[in-house]
């Protein structure tokens, strides 16, 4: 690939994960990256990113090829289609705009050229695109990275970037060989800089269900209780009464609904994957603390619904889902998205 034209890659979402993805893509020299930012756009456009990375070292004022604050509109701006569009935004289908609407200006529904890469958490995230863009190849990206943006434009990556790339099944396309070839090509582009562990994974469902053992359980439990991953292990009864039962429900749902067999040690591994005394805040807890919306539907709602359809009893996850939904409603009220009757004075 070294003798061919660089691939054009549009990265939508320049937070802690998307920025490191853009950095890896640009570092390999096989891609020209356009990065779409929102709240951090002004800072980055003026001064670039300041990055402290265990993979890349310290970078001051780093920028990709192009920085924008809007998703490119191919028709209005007379642009050529991108080779790849990478989505690394939070996936919150109950809050507009949907990710399909977000990407629509850069990805016509009739697209057959651009490959879509979803570096997002959760289950069934590809299904809206299979309906809206039936001829588009959609790749799964499961990211196992420790990265945060403590302030706009400042990225701190303290755990290696590990990325599993595979192709979502798409019955609208004639062959899976071509989709797997595109997945392998993206792996080559992403890993070329030698600073990351990016591999092709043929078993997308296994990758996603395995990560859900953490994300569907520890993420909402920490968000609801306000406890980080260390304190939840120290709290009286939390592991035995909440974390383990929830994780075992996910393991059973993966088996019964998708035929995915997760290892016998997966529950203990996910409980202990974060060193206790790091006291890490999962993304959902961080969002609650910031007053942001939480991405509970794909992380918690979808595996719950899939498991229940397959006849799996999931009482712990059902309660967690209902509480997470109420937490989301609270944020909606704070943002003025729901109206409630005015408060009455006592005796009125």
162 and 261 inside one domain: no
Same domain, 180 and 247: no
- Assess whether 136 and 219 both reside in one domain: no
**Same domain flag for 173 and 271:** no
The pLDDT of 116-128, averaged and rounded, is 97
User: In the listed set 171, 202, 233, which residue is the last one of a domain according to the structure?
Assistant: 202
Do 189 and 226 belong to one domain? Answer: no
- The pLDDT of residue 320 is above 80: yes
Give the residue from 174, 202, 230 where a domain finishes.
202
For the chain, how many structural domains are there in total? 2
Are both 11 and 85 inside the same structural domain?
yes
* 190 and 112 co-located in one domain: yes
Cα–Cα separations (whole angstroms), residue 48 to 34, 37, 152, 194, 241: 14, 12, 10, 23, 46
Locate 255 and state its tokens. 């088996």
238 CB-contact burial (10 Å; exposed 0-12 / middle 13-18 / buried 19+): middle
Range list of H helices, 125-203: 127-132, 176-191
| Strand pairing report for 57-62 and 49-53 | antiparallel
Contact between 188 and 1 under an 8 Å Cβ cutoff? The reply is yes
Alpha-carbon gap, residue 47 to 61, rounded angstroms: 6
Give the CATH number for residue 71. 3.40.50.720
Residues 26 and 94 both lie in one domain = yes
Task: Tell me the per-residue pLDDT of 167-179, one tens digit each, with 9 for 90 and over.
Answer: 999 988 877 788 9
Question: 335-347 pLDDT, tens per residue?
Answer: 999 999 998 888 7
Distance CA 208, CA 214 (A): 10
Cα dihedral 8, 14, 20, 21 sign? negative
* Domain final position from 202, 235, 261: 202
Determine, yes or no, domain membership for 347. Answer: no
- Asked if residue 175 and residue 253 are part of one domain, the reply reads no
Residue among 183, 192, 161 nearest 30 (CA): 192
pLDDT in tens, 137-186: 999 999 999 898 999 999 999 989 999 999 999 988 877 788 999 999 99
pTM score, two decimals?
Answer: 0.94
The answer on 229 and 194 residing in a single domain is: no
Are 42 and 159 within one domain?
A: yes
Q: Is pLDDT at 79 greater than 50 in this prediction?
A: yes
> Which domain range does residue 111 map to?
7-202
CATH of the domain at 250: 1.10.1040.10
- Identify whether residues 154 and 278 lie together within a single domain: no
Give domain status of residue 36, yes or no: yes
How many Cβ atoms from other residues are within 10 Å of residue 259's Cβ?
A: 10
Is 80 contained in some domain?
A: yes
> Does the pLDDT value for residue 41 go beyond 70?
yes
| pLDDT grade for 2, boundaries at 50, 70 and 90 | very low
Average pLDDT along the chain = 95
């Amino acid at each position: 690939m070294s003798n061919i034209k660089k691939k054009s890659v549009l990265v939508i979402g320049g937070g802690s994960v998307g920025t490191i993805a853009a950095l890896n893509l640009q570092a390999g020299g096989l891609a020209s990256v356009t990065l779409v930012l929102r709240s951090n756009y002004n800072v980055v456009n003026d001064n670039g990113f300041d990055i402290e990375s265990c993979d890349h070292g310290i970078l001051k004022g780093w920028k990709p090829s192009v920085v924008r604050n809007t998703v490119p509109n191919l028709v209005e701006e007379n642009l050529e289609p991108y080779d790849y569009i990478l989505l690394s935004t939070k996936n919150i289908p109950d809050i507009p705009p949907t990710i399909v609407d977000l990407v629509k200006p850069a990805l016509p529904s009739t697209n057959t050229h651009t490959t879509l890469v979803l570096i997002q958490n959760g289950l069934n995230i590809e299904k809206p695109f299979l309906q809206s863009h039936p001829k588009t190849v959609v790749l799964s990206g499961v990211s196992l990275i420790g990265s945060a943006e403590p302030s706009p434009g400042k990225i701190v990556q303290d755990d290696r970037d590990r990325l599993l790339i595979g192709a979502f099944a798409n019955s609208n396309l004639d062959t899976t060989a071509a989709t797997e070839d595109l997945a392998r090509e993206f792996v080559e582009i992403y890993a070329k800089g030698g600073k990351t562990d990016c591999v092709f994974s043929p078993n997308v469902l296994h990758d996603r269900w395995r990560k859900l053992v953490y994300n569907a359980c520890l993420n909402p439990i920490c968000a609801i209780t306000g406890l980080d991953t260390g304190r939840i292990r120290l709290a009286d009864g939390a592991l035995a009464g909440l974390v383990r039962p929830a994780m075992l429900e996910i393991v059973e749902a993966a088996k019964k609904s998708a035929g995915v067999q997760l290892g016998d040690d997966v529950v203990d591994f996910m409980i202990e994957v974060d060193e206790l005394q790091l006291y890490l805040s999962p993304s959902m807890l961080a969002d609650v603390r910031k007053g942001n919306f939480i991405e509970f539907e794909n992380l918690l709602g979808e595996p719950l619904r899939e498991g229940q359809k397959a006849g799996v009893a999931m009482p712990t996850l059902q309660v967690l889902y209902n509480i997470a939904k109420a937490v989301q409603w609270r944020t909606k009220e704070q943002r003025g998205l729901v109206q409630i009757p005015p408060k009455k004075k006592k005796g009125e």
